[in-house]
């Protein structure tokens, strides 16, 4: 499992998600429910809320969103009217469908979509460490011209540290809200290996199942800056989640989130987060040594984005070949991709799940070798993959 948005959760989380809590309806919020029988579910949801607030250092958290897309939708519907301007990172440059992808998604249909890109030539290879990967003058110009209500700062296929403060300064200039979507990097933020957006944004959204190792759910959090900008922001967010977008919350998922957050608060989680990044860096270095081109020339987080054009193969063909050998990655667009989305030029792969299995730098070198054997040498390495996985069994 090397898709960077996938991970293995804890046995205790699976226990909670598979519990009798899945049987209970609980429209509303703790202390203000529309159903009876809430004595224990209110305690569980409050526990998840308090742990989210503690872990990320925020004054308000909503743990009810079913997944990341509804979480983002709730923020938009809380802050914007149809036709208002939404600004986010372009899909092919590493953004998400819900960050304003035009014409196809709700975020691009109901709102005026303005998309920024990776800039300054850093979609290329090598020499990128410590540089800005966005042309912030271009981002500022786009914001001044379009006056967005919300600027989304978040990615799904961007392997570097995000400069939260620079986006925040632009948003301040145009009066926009900053929404930090940290779905991919929430565990890295919690573990202290990626800067937190909390001091430089108004709202944070995240899924709970990627680097955070929780169940398939999501959260919306409001920061101190968000409350300073609008004291009613927590109420607006809560109303947008329920009853605006959803009915009864999935209490079994919320219980799983509470368990995962407890693990993330524990001291050992920082070690895990550091290992995810260390593994990704070694994997990136080894792939480059084998002749693979990496978008931005490396990684600072949990994922690697490979540009396969120099090898004469497209991402979909490579992903299918790797799957046949038991290595699961996903085809992905690269910045300014000349290929269509269903057959893009890139591969996206990451280290959260293999790190959960206990693999370290030595195994990353082996994985890079196996990937090279499949894509360049056109070999099937399923046997070697199976042997490697047997050495690092999953928790029951």
| Residues tagged active-site | 25, 27, 181, 207, 210, 216
Cβ contact 351:4 at 8 Å: yes
- Kindly tell me the burial class for residue 23, based on how many C-beta atoms sit within 10 Å of its own C-beta (0-12, 13-18, 19 or more): exposed
Give the separation between CA 130 and CA 365, rounded to whole angstroms. Answer: 24
H or E element at residue 151: strand 150-154
Range 263-299 burial, b when 16+ CB lie within 10 A, else e: bbeeeebeebbebbbbbbbbbbbbbbeeebbbbbbbb
Nearest to 174 by CA among 102, 82, 85, 90: 85
Give the separation between CA 106 and CA 205, rounded to whole angstroms. Answer: 17
* Angle CA 207–212–216, to nearest 5: 45
**Joined tokens for residue 186:** 């929430």
Give the separation between CA 284 and CA 269, rounded to whole angstroms. Answer: 23
Contacts of 36 (CB under 8 A, 6+ apart): none
- Whose tokens are 């955070």? That residue is 212
Give the separation between CA 124 and CA 374, rounded to whole angstroms. Answer: 24
Q: What is the DSSP letter of 132?
A: -
Give the separation between CA 207 and CA 336, rounded to whole angstroms. Answer: 27
Cβ contact 173:140 at 8 Å: yes
Give the separation between CA 315 and CA 345, rounded to whole angstroms. Answer: 5
Strand partners, 257: none
Strand partners, 85: 112
- Provide the pairing of β-strand 303-307 with 330-332: unpaired
């Amino acid at each position: 499992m090397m898709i960077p948005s996938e991970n293995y959760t804890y046995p205790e989380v699976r226990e909670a998600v598979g519990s009798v809590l899945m049987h209970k309806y609980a429209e509303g919020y703790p202390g203000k429910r529309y159903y009876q029988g809430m004595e224990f579910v209110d305690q569980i949801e409050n526990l998840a809320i308090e742990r989210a607030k503690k872990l990320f250092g925020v004054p308000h958290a909503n743990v009810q969103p079913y997944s990341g897309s509804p979480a983002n939708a709730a923020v938009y519907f809380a802050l914007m009217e149809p036709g208002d301007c939404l600004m986010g990172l372009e899909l092919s440059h590493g953004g998400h469908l819900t960050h304003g992808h035009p014409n196809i998604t709700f975020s691009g249909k109901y709102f005026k979509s303005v998309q920024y890109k990776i800039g300054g030539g850093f979609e290329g290879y090598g020499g990128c460490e410590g540089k800005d990967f966005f042309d912030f003058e271009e981002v500022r110009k786009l914001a001044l011209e379009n006056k967005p209500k919300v600027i989304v700062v978040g990615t799904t296929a961007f392997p570097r540290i995000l400069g939260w403060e620079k986006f925040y300064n632009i948003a301040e200039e145009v009066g926009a809200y900053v929404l930090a979507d940290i779905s991919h990097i929430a565990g890295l933020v919690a573990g202290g290996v990626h800067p937190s957006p909390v001091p430089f944004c108004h709202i944070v959204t995240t899924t709970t199942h990627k680097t955070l190792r929780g169940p398939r759910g999501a959260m919306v959090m409001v920061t101190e800056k968000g409350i300073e900008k609008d004291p009613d922001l927590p109420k607006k967010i809560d109303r947008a989640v329920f009853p605006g977008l959803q009915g009864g919350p999935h209490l079994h998922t919320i219980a799983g989130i509470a368990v995962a957050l407890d693990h993330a608060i524990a001291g050992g989680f920082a070690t895990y987060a550091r290992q995810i990044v260390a593994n990704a860096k070694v994997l990136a270095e080894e792939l480059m040594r084998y002749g693979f081109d990496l978008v931005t020339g490396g990684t600072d987080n949990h994922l690697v984005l490979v540009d396969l054009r120099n090898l004469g193969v497209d991402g979909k063909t490579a992903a299918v070949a790797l799957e046949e050998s038991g290595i699961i990655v996903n085809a992905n667009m690269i910045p300014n991709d000349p290929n269509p989305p269903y057959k893009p030029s890139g591969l996206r792969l990451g280290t959260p799940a293999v790190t959960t299995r206990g693999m370290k730098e030595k195994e990353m070198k082996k994985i890079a070798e196996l990937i090279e054997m499949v894509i360049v040498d056109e070999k099937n390495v399923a046997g070697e993959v199976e042997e490697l996985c047997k050495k690092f069994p999953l928790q029951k």
